[in-house]
Each structure stands twice: as C-alpha cells, then as structure tokens.
Amino acid sequence: MIRVPRRFILATNAILKIEGLNAFYGDSHILYDISFELKKDTVLALLGRNGAGKTTCISSIIGFLSGRSGLIELDGVALQNLSPEKICQAGIGIVPQGRRIFPSLTVKENLDVAYQAPRAGSARQWSLEDVFQFFPRLNERKNQIAGSLSGGEQQMLAIGRALMTNPKVLLLDEPSEGLAPQIVKEVGNIIATLKPFISIVLVEQNLNLALSVADDVVLLNGGKVVFSGSKALFTEKQQELQAHLSVE
C-alpha cells in the first residue's frame, strides 16, 4: 500500500518548457526543434520507438547532453548550459533508465546521500520520513544493502532517491524496464499517487502503463515531434499514429 504524507499540500508553480531544442552527438543531429510544455502537477508521457530521441531529450533536460540551440526553462529559469548538478539544484529530479542505485550502500544511505533541503517557497517537502511513509517497504528494508533488493524495490528506491532532492519536476526514464507485469502495475500506482504532488515527464515503452497515468502525450519519431496533445486526442488518433510507435 502507498501512503501519502498528510502534510503535503498541492504545489502551484512546477512547470517545464522545451522550445526549439536541437541536440547533437558529435556531428550527428539527434533532436530537431523539439518543443513541448509540461503542465503543473500532471504526467506527460514521452513516447516513441527505440532510437526516436526520448532518452536524448531527457539527457538534454538534465544536462547530461548540451543542446546546440533552443530553450529549456523551469519555472521561468533557463536551464540550458547549466551543469547537471545545478539543474538538479534548480528543481529537476531524475530516475534514470536502469535505476542506477548504489548497490553497496543500504537503502537509508542511498536516500541520505541524495537529500537536498526544500527550496524557499516550495510547497513540497520530502524528507527521509516522508519517503519511508510513501514507501513502507523501503522503511522495512532501510538497513538492507540496496543491491540485494528485488527489481521492484530497487525502482521504488530510485524514485525515493529522486524525491529526496525535493524536485519540482521528476523525469522517469523507462521505469517499467525489466520488471514483472505485476510490479509494472505497482509502478503505475506509484506514479498515479505522485501525480497530484509533482509534475512528471514519463519516458515509457509500455504504452498501456504510459496511457494509464498520462494527462498529455508527446510522440517522437526520428528526433522530431510528430504528435503533441492530450491523452484523449492521442487515443483518438492512435491508429494513425501507430506507425510511429511500431518497430519498422
């Protein structure tokens, strides 16, 4: 069972804007004029088949890859050309593909090492107590070596670790990867429970999971936006958009 800390109140200021983003790996042009907006306290599903540019987009937002041109803005603050550390401090949290927890540290140590104090005026405050209240299973295993956790528990830990940075926006990169169907459903429940408290960009190959929690959808193909709109509109056009989701 997932429990929401009682003292949480809804935030009003978490928003992410991407405008005209172009990104390169060396001389290879990967993202072409990508533009979309993440609304406050919603989930935006970033979809597309392998190689479409989804992870490159996430890497650009968090600063792992510098965009050649374009705007990345969080709450009115430009993020482009900042280091990943500064971007995290500004309020972007990431749960990377493959989870990438510290396997030799305990659950508690993984969470402690990520902690950042809440920002002035922030409506959300995540502490160790809050994360353990949200994820009772992590509390039960707080002194356990993280590498010995199950895949689902490691994903909870990766999400909890990102929340410990007290972000305004959470980037989730393929959270269902390598998980059993029942655990995938649990991840979906976690995302749905988080949704009223934080804005989320969800990169996900599992279309059913993505659409079960998304409010809006951005579909990439060949590094370009081929659809941007509400989940309802995407569902309406899904048959004609299927070519951009299927493997060629």
pLDDT of the residue at 196: 85
Q: pLDDT tens digit string along 71-90?
A: 999 988 899 889 999 999 88
Q: pLDDT tens digit string along 21-39?
A: 999 988 889 999 999 999 9
Residue 1 has pLDDT above 90, yes or no: no
Q: pLDDT tens digit string along 33-74?
A: 999 999 988 999 999 988 889 999 999 999 998 767 899 999
Cβ atoms within 10 Å of 98's Cβ, excluding its own:
12
CA atoms within 13 A on the CB side of 216: 16
Can you give the pTM of this predicted structure? Answer: 0.86
Structural element, H or E, at residue 157: helix 151-163
pLDDT of the residue at 116: 87
pLDDT of the residue at 145: 95
pLDDT of the residue at 195: 87
Query: What tokens appear for 183 in the block?
Result: 């655990």
Q: pLDDT tens digit string along 98-107?
A: 778 999 999 9
Q: pLDDT tens digit string along 88-123?
A: 988 899 998 877 899 999 999 999 999 888 765 455
**Which percentage of the chain shows pLDDT scores above 90?**
58
DSSP-assigned states of every residue in 102-151: -TTSBHHHHHHHH--PPPTT-S----HHHHHHH-HHHHHTTTSBGGGS-H
Domain 41-65+83-244 bears CATH identifier 3.40.190.10: no
- pLDDT, mean over the chain: 87
Q: pLDDT tens digit string along 217-226?
A: 999 999 999 9
Residue 157 has pLDDT above 90, yes or no: yes
Strands 16-25 vs 28-38: parallel, antiparallel or unpaired? antiparallel
